């Protein structure tokens, strides 16, 4: 379906054309007409499927500017909150619609100020509850509520917060639920809160014919990092995401990559928001070509031109593996998903391989140079040596 065929405000059509959107994706084509009719919708769609515009466009079409807060979008992570906010602001500016973002890790004062005059709020559950408890947000005019990446909210333990927020909004509202997987918990949530929802399921956005999946089985844990350095140095085209199992491991890997001359950014839940945003911006602008991340980066974030996924630590379930590899081989491009195994990874990898949909081939371990890996880094020591000087980082 052509974008120009949508029954929405012509200013939104013009914005789509300006940004060279021509054809609707599957999730957009099937969800937008239902949402425009005021129906509750459950949409199953993977990262990269275009689901944000699937709810953004019909919401913007329904909003009346300067008539109070009318739409609420809940996201599980700060990064996704910022990303969704950017989409709403970009398309909403032509209609005079204002969008505010609400998430933790930053001062609450500016958010309180923005909420007073906004039409739409995009937020994370914890910070949203903070505003409810403080009485700094008014839900009286809410007409539409979106739960984005609902299954991730279950995984992160946010669902009780989400239910508490739903109970605060008017009962007469439209509820849209989007999720990469529709688990029994998601079904239960839908049965409790949605009114005769339309269920929309789409096929995988990843083109498996263009996705090469391989694994290397190495014997010693201390060789894993050396092999990663070798592979990153060989694969110089496109962007790479290296997935680690813990915050500490992602920090250690990114710092050790820097010692080997590979400029890598780290992102995980333990970092301050400005650093997390800086890491993502560096990758998106290709100032750096390697992002070392925990699974917080696997869901929802729109990072284009990712050619290689490295499972430095093997995910625990087939579902987590799907979310990781879904970052590459998109929109007709080729991609590679590479898993590095040592003995302690075998149990997790057997669980991943239990899914017959994956075609993960064993590859011969190449010759590579052994490089050092430091587990701990001493904090920088600062001493006073006279008046401060300006410093510039590269």
What mean pLDDT, rounded, does the chain reach?
A: 88
Q: Which of 193-197, 199-203, 355-359 has the highest mean pLDDT?
A: 193-197
Q: Is the pLDDT of residue 302 over 80?
A: no
Across the range 333-348, mean pLDDT stands at 92
In whole angstroms, give the CA distance from residue 269 to residue 76. Answer: 11
Cα-flanking dihedrals φ and ψ of residue 56, to 5°?
-65, -50
For residue 376, how far is the Cα from the chain centroid? 29
More confident residue, 239 or 295: 239
CB 293 within 8 A of CB 266: yes
pLDDT of 229 reads 96
The predicted-structure confidence for 52-93, as pLDDT tens digits, reads as follows 999 999 999 999 999 999 999 999 998 899 999 999 999 999
Q: CB within 8 A of 124, min separation 6: which ones?
A: 74, 75, 76, 77, 78, 81, 102, 103, 104, 158
Q: Which residues pair with 248 in a beta bridge?
A: none
Q: Is the pLDDT of residue 391 over 80?
A: no
Could you tell me the two tokens for 248?
């500490």
pLDDT classification of 235: cutoffs 50, 70, 90: confident
Across the range 229-256, mean pLDDT stands at 91
Q: CB within 8 A of 8, min separation 6: which ones?
A: 32, 36, 57, 58, 60, 61
In whole angstroms, give the CA distance from residue 100 to residue 113. Answer: 10
Across the range 126-131, mean pLDDT stands at 96
The predicted-structure confidence for 286-300, as pLDDT tens digits, reads as follows 888 999 998 876 566
Q: Is the pLDDT of residue 390 over 70?
A: no
The predicted-structure confidence for 145-172, as pLDDT tens digits, reads as follows 999 999 889 988 999 999 999 999 999 9
pLDDT of 297 reads 60
Domains, the chain, ranges and CATH? 3-201 (3.40.50.300), 208-362 (3.40.50.300)
pLDDT of 226 reads 96
């Amino acid at each position: 379906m052509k974008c120009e065929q949508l029954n929405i405000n012509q200013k939104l059509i013009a914005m789509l054309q300006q940004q060279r959107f021509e054809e609707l994706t599957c999730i957009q084509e099937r969800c937008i007409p239902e949402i425009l009719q005021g129906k509750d919708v459950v949409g199953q769609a993977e990262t990269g499927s275009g689901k944000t515009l699937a709810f953004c466009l019909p919401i913007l079409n329904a909003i009346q500017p300067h008539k109070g807060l009318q739409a609420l979008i809940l996201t599980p992570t700060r990064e996704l909150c910022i990303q969704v906010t950017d989409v709403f602001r970009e398309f909403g500016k032509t209609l005079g619609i204002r969008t505010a973002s609400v998430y933790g890790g930053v001062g609450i004062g500016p958010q309180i100020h923005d909420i007073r005059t906004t039409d739409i709020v995009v937020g994370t559950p914890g910070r949203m509850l903070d505003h409810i408890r403080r009485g700094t947000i008014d839900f009286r005019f809410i007409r539409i509520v979106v739960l984005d990446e609902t299954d991730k909210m279950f995984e992160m333990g946010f669902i009780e917060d989400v239910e508490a927020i739903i109970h605060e909004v008017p009962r007469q509202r439209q509820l849209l639920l989007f999720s990469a997987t529709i688990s029994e918990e998601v079904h239960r949530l839908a049965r409790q809160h949605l009114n005769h929802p339309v269920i929309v399921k789409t096929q995988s956005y990843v083109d498996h014919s263009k996705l090469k999946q391989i694994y290397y089985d190495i014997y010693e844990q201390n060789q894993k990092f050396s092999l990663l350095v070798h592979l990153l140095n060989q694969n110089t085209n496109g962007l790479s995401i290296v997935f680690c199992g813990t915050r500490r491991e992602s920090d250690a890997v990114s710092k050790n990559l820097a010692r080997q001359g590979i400029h890598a950014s780290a992102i995980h839940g333990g970092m301050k928001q400005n650093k997390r945003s800086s890491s993502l911006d560096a990758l998106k602008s290709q100032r750096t070509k390697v992002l070392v991340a925990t699974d917080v980066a696997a869901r929802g974030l729109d990072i284009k031109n990712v050619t290689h996924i490295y499972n430095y630590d093997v995910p625990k379930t087939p579902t987590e593996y799907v979310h990781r590899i879904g970052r590459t081989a998109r929109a007709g491009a080729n991609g590679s998903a590479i898993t590095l195994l040592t003995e302690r990874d075998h149990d997790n990898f057997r669980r991943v391989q239990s899914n017959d949909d994956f075609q993960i081939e064993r590859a011969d371990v190449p010759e590579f140079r052994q490089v050092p890996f430091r587990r701990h880094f001493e904090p920088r020591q600062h001493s006073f040596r006279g008046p401060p000087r300006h410093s510039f980082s590269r």
